Structure 1
Amino acid sequence: EETLEKTKGEVLEVLKASVRPEFLNRIDEIIMFHPLTTDNIRDILKMQMEGVKEKVADMGIELQFTEYAIKYLTQKGYDPAYGARPVKRILQRELVNELAKALLKGSINKAKPVIVDNFEDNLVFRN
């Protein structure tokens, strides 16, 4: 709490030094947020993964995630400076795009559950 108040004061000083007083007077309040933890990112990631699971389930594909895959995506999606913003991009790039490529290549059978795992810092799909 003390750190947030100190940071808030520093932000206000930077604003005073760099923003015109007319604009600064229009700012009613500065709200400081606690940075997200890796546990927070993991929870957000799991919610987003459920959305992906539902979308592919509509195509007749069942996804199952190993703990290694979840841990890998959590680490890739964690950025204290940007909060949860990278999570969606990571899921799109690492999961959705790669799953689509694997399906198009025919390297996985969509009639069987698809297990999403981590191997050598990459997501892999197997069934």
Structure 2
Amino acid sequence: KKALEKLFTPEFRNRLDEIIFFHPLNQQTMLQVVDKFIARFDDFLKPRKVQLSVSAEVRLWLAKNGFDPKFGARPLDRLIQDKIKDPLADSMLFGDLKQGGKVKVVMKNNKPEIETTP
């Protein structure tokens, strides 16, 4: 609060309805964010008859690599897009998941890898 008083004039501070302080995200919170993103993607896949399974190791990897101290969890969406969604798109459109199937995301060689079963 002292930093705000130092940085902004009283006139500006009086125009604010509320001041909300954010705390840094911890590992547990990041795992909850990862689970939310995965659940949202799983909901997207269900009508397409695709079952998604993401290993605990991948969840931890996403939580660690999808976090930036400056931007919080914002990079997580892009990471999931690059490592899970984009690779699955080709299989769903042109490959063995056109009619549905099962998808497992597991760690291999220290990175997420997609395993599909029609």
- For the aligned pair, the TM-score class normalised by the smaller chain equals 0.7 to 0.9
Task: Give the structure with the higher percent strand.
Answer: 2
Q: Distance in 2 between matches of 1:75 and 1:81?
A: 14
Match of 1:101 among 86, 90, 94: 90
The answer to whether the 8 A contact 2:51-2:102 is kept is: yes
Match of 1:119 among 101, 105, 108: 108
Larger radius of gyration: 1
Post-superposition Cα deviations, 1:43-98, rounded to whole Å, max 9, x if no partner, equal 11102101111211211111111112111111121223323323223222322122
- Report percent identity of matched pairs: 27
RMSD: 2.3
When structure 1 is superposed on structure 2, of 21-30 and 80-89 the one drifting more is 21-30
AA in 2 matched with 1:9: K
Structure 2: segments with no counterpart, 5+ residues: none
> How many pairs align?
114
Post-superposition Cα deviations, 1:7-35, rounded to whole Å, max 9, x if no partner, equal x312331234xxxx643431344321221
Matched, 1:15 2:8: yes
Structure 1: segments with no counterpart, 5+ residues: 1-7
Q: Distance in 2 between matches of 1:81 and 1:38?
A: 15
Q: Distance in 1 between matches of 2:109 and 2:91?
A: 17
Q: What TM-score does the superposition give when structure 1 sets the normalisation length?
A: 0.72
